[in-house]
Amino acid sequence: MPERDIVSWNSIISGHSKHPEALLYFEQMVRSGTSPDSITFVAILSACAHLGLVNDGERLFWLMRKKYGIDPRMEHYACMVNLYESAGLIDEAFNMIVERMEFKAGLTVCGAMLYACSVHGNIQIGDIAGQKLFELEPDNQHNFELLMKIYIAMQRG
């Protein structure tokens, strides 16, 4: 690809989201003079989450706003929840939502939080995320199943 624009860079980064090369492509993009956009940060934060690269993800999340002037949206916060979940840092994910989000958590963030709690058996935060999801999506059976998974795991443990 002789010339790469933001769309092609985003595709490359997203396509490598489960491989460390995603970070290298992000760095190449920046060095080439192409500024990342909101979609770029969803892709690179997702890559950090898949790879368990908490420090890199936190640094990129900070750069998104401070260096590139991009305000985080719901999907960026959901990526951060997934990032923290990959390292078992459920309290950090919850604190970020409560203390740093400038808007109310929606389906994407609450769903990511409930999933994280189901993976790590965190009943306290899982219950909060589940209750919020029940308000937002009262007919979604999957949310109920995730919350039940947490309760069952707690009874066994």
Q: Are 82 and 98 in contact (CB under 8 A)?
A: no
SS3 134: helix
**Residue tagged 């400038």 (tokens):** 102
Q: For the whole prediction, is pTM greater than 0.85?
A: yes
Domain locations along the chain: 1-71, 91-157
H-state helical runs in the chain: 6-15, 21-31, 38-51, 54-66, 74-86, 90-100, 107-120, 123-136, 141-156
Report pLDDT digits (tens) over 41-87: 999 999 999 999 999 999 999 999 999 999 999 999 999 999 999 99
Dist. CA 43–CA 16, nearest whole Å: 9
What value does the mean pLDDT take over residues 16-39? 96
